[in-house]
């Protein structure tokens, strides 16, 4: 599960065994976890983050959306 980005206490990563799902990113902080779709940034799953945290995470994803999508595509050899 490669970590592709760290911002403050947040770790952004994806699992290497999920290539058949649409592009997405997992985010962890301590024992909290969320999953967001990347193509149209949207929350897919949340375990413990507050609404305020989720809004902040969503902004981070939007700010780095192109980079995260490129890393997803590169890792899963999409478009090559």
Reference 29, options 59, 5, 64; nearest CA is 5
Helices (H), the chain: 51-63, 65-75
Instruction: State the pTM of this model.
Output: 0.91
pLDDT band at 55 (very low <50, low <70, confident <90, very high): very high
Confidence class for position 16, pLDDT limits 50, 70, 90: confident
Please check whether residue 80 is in contact with residue 31, taking contact to mean a CB–CB distance below 8 angstroms.
no
Q: What percent of the chain has pLDDT over 70?
A: 96
Residue 6 confidence class, pLDDT cut points 50, 70, 90: very high
pLDDT value, residue 67:
96
Please, what is the Cα angle at 20 between 27 and 68, to 5 degrees? 40
């Amino acid at each position: 599960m490669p970590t592709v980005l760290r911002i403050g206490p947040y770790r952004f990563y994806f699992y290497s065994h999920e290539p058949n799902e649409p592009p997405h990113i997992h985010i962890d902080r301590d024992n909290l976890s969320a999953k967001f779709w990347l193509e149209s940034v949207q929350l897919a799953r949340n375990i413990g983050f507050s609404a305020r945290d989720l809004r902040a995470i969503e902004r981070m994803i939007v700010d780095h959306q192109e980079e995260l999508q490129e890393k997803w595509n590169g890792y899963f050899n999409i478009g090559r």
